Amino acid sequence: MLVASSRADVAHYFIEDDKTADEITRVRISRNAVMEEITRLQQDLPKDAPHELAALLDVHLMLLQDEQLISGVKHWIVDRHYNAEWALTTQYEIIARQFDDMEDEYLRERKADLEQVVERILRHMKGVASPVQPAAQAGAGRKLSQQDLLLDDTTDVPLVLVAHDLSPADMLQFKQSLFAGFATDVGGKTSHTAIVARSMDIPAVVGARSASQLIKQDDWVIIDGDAGVLIVDPSPIILAEYGFKQRQGELERQRLNRLKNTPSLTIDGQRVELLANIEMPEDTLGAVTAGAVGVGLFRSEFLFMGRSGKLPDEEEQYQAYRKAIEGMHGLPVTIRTVDIGSDKPLDRHAKAQDTHLNPALGLRAIRWSLADPPMFLTQLRAILRAAAHGQVNLLVPMLAHATEIRQTMSLIDHARATLDNNGTPYGPVRLGAMIEIPAAALTLKLFLKYFDFLSIGTNDLIQYTLAIDRADEAVSHLYDPCHPAVLRLIADTIAECDAQGKGVSVCGEMAGDVGMTRLLLGLGLRSFSMHPSQILAVKQQILRADASKLQPWAAQVLASEDPAVLLQSA
Ligand code: PEP
Ligand code: MG
């Protein structure tokens, strides 16, 4: 079941309850404008123009007044809360399919006319200023209830969303909805959109190229997130096979659930810390339920996204961080300072307008923060204040230069001084740096001079070591976590921290990948941070592992030309 339209260049977002009338007005104004345009064209037709041309314009005028088009668009806006463009293209696809099914060739060909008419309306809508803010942008994503999503006769049919692209902020909004799966045309496995999808523990396939064009509204689709495969209109045999797989998966989950309270120890008694990655304070519930012993990565930028640039003030941030801290009931929470930029734009329009050629190499993360000291100081004060309520680690993303480190330290001191001057209570924090740029991994001594702990962001470390845009599906086959250079940087970081008695964890997607657990253990890693949904499967690997035996094997893998081959055969 498909609920997104296949149009690549059309925005998809949910609108607020009280904005449906505005959205209908947007469509009406644009439709009327197109009707006027066509009427004018008709009037201006030269006398000797072919008769077919006038007839064609008549057809277009007729289609513009088609009751099924008008009432359908209203339905999607009012009942499903789709934005105008999404509603229009969704209804177009439904009618287009009816044209496809027509026996009469002349009528079948009218589909092209309908498409042109819809194109015209869409073009007009681009010019008609939107009187509404997209819900995702306003940061007030409407909570979708079962009723909202399953309004019509599809009540017990799971819905999947297939779209050209979804921003991480969109995904976050969908977190509250009931979609059973996602697929997007663009994106890599560790793009932030994929990361949020994974945190929802539902099947997702990203980088499916032209899926949104090929799959039509109301098609049946199987999304096999493990294999990265989409199956459209599956045969009964395939359906049965996937039904079986689903039940097996459910049984496996139930079995893993029994490990929830089992201490995370290797066979040879090594304790391994399993932490959670979260995007919002509410995610702590899932973290605690999965048995996480703390939050290893709170991606604070999700508090900043989808708000039309109006950033959260100190009080709002303080409340959010405090909520996360309280949600962990005394367990440590690692709050990463904002990592905006690259594939995490502040809002979707900012992405569209981003003219930088290489945003992943641009003003992102700590660079963005240091470029706006008042914004950064606001966040630092909020984190320090929240630290009065529990154990907090403050983690800084994407550092590479000594000057950046020193500026960051001085701003942290500045934030403390302001709180002191105002008599505002705050708590102690341990300071950590993310190792996600090769330059950082190659200057560990500098980092360890300033920081209490390090956290390896493998998603970016791989991207920057191999020069592979993690969000670009065209080069996703080259995005290789097992590349010897990547493994070498990870191994050296763990070893150097060990040597200096400093804490080190991995918080990239690699930490939650059960295929990598034994290698990371062998390299000496004892702290893994991942989505709560991955914790028990990784714990199972740990319980079965003998860390002392894994060490020499890991050294072999590290020395190998082709580590992936050794890993697979182990
Ligand atoms: C990483 O780069 O591995 C990481 C954890 O940070 P993010 O995925 O948010 O860039
Ligand atoms: Mg990163």
**Residue 514 maps to which CATH number?**
3.20.20.60
Atom of ligand 1 minimally distant from the CA of 297: 5
Compute CA distances 334 → 263, 282, 437, whole Å: 21, 15, 20
What would the mean pLDDT of 395-413 be, rounded to a whole number?
98
Whether 243 maps to a domain, the answer reads no
Task: Please tell me whether residues 421 and 531 are part of one structural domain.
Answer: yes
Question: Could you tell me if 35 and 135 lie in one domain?
Answer: yes
Burial of 226 (0-12, 13-18, 19+ CB in 10 A): exposed
Give the pLDDT of residue 354. 57
**Does one domain contain both 177 and 279?**
no
Three-class secondary structure of residue 423 per DSSP: coil
Q: Is the pLDDT of residue 102 over 60?
A: yes
**Ligand 1 atom nearest to 509, measured from its CA:** 3
pLDDT at position 521 over 70:
yes
Q: 299 CB under 6 A from ligand 1?
A: yes
User: Does residue 247 fall inside a structural domain?
Assistant: no
Indicate if the pLDDT at residue 134 is higher than 50.
no
Q: What are 200-245's pLDDT values in tens digits? A: 888 889 888 888 888 877 788 999 988 889 999 888 889 889 888 8
- Say whether 482 is catalytic: no
Residue with the bigger pLDDT between 165 and 439: it is: 439
Residue 157 has pLDDT above 70, yes or no: no
- At residue 106, the pLDDT reads 75
What's the pLDDT score for residue 567? Answer: 86
In this structure, the answer to whether residues 280 and 154 fall within a common structural domain is no
Name the band, by pLDDT with cuts 50, 70 and 90, for residue 80: confident
Residues 284 and 192 in one domain: no
Number of domains forming the structure of the chain: 2
Q: Mean pLDDT for the chain?
A: 86
508 lines ligand 1 (CB under 6 A): yes
What contacts 200, CB < 8 A, 6 or more positions away? 171, 174, 175
Query: For residue 105, what pLDDT band results from cuts at 50, 70 and 90?
Result: confident
Q: What is the CATH number of the domain that holds 79?
A: 1.10.274.10
- Looking at the domain assignment, is residue 274 inside a domain? yes
The number of the ligand 1 atom at minimal distance from the alpha carbon of 299 is 9
* Same structural domain, 530 and 411: yes
Query: Is 180 part of any domain?
Result: yes
Q: Answer yes or no: is 229 within a domain.
A: no
The pLDDT-based confidence of 461 (bands split at 50, 70, 90) is very high
**455 alpha carbon, closest ligand:** 1
Cα–ligand 2 centroid distance for 11 (angstroms): 27
- Closest-CA residue, ligand 1 atom 3, reads 457
Note if 356 is an active site residue. Answer: no
Q: Which mutation among 295, 303, 339, 344 tests ligand 1's pocket best, with the greatest number of atoms within 8 A of CB?
A: 339
Same-domain pairing of 186 and 279 = no
Closest CA to 528 of 259, 202, 277, 199: 277
Beta bridge partners of 265: 271
Of all atoms in ligand 1, which is nearest to the CA of residue 459? Answer: 3
Q: How confident is the model at residue 161 (pLDDT cuts 50, 70, 90)?
A: confident
529: helix, coil or strand?
A: strand
Check residue 123 and give its pLDDT: 80
Do the beta carbons of residue 201 and residue 179 sit within 8 Å? no
Instruction: Give 315-372 pLDDT, tens digit per residue.
Output: 999 999 999 999 999 999 999 999 998 888 887 555 545 566 788 999 999 999 999 9
User: Is residue 131 over pLDDT 50?
Assistant: no
Residues 152-167, mean pLDDT to the nearest whole number? 67
Confidence of residue 165 (pLDDT cuts 50, 70, 90): confident
Q: Ligand 2 center to residue 369 CA distance, Å?
A: 15
Q: Which pLDDT tens digit goes with each residue over 181-198?
A: 888 888 888 888 888 888
**Domain, as residue range, for 81:** 2-219
Distance from the CA of 508 to the center of ligand 1, in angstroms? 5
Residues 113 and 43 in one domain: yes
205/312 same-domain check: no
pLDDT at 41 over 70: yes
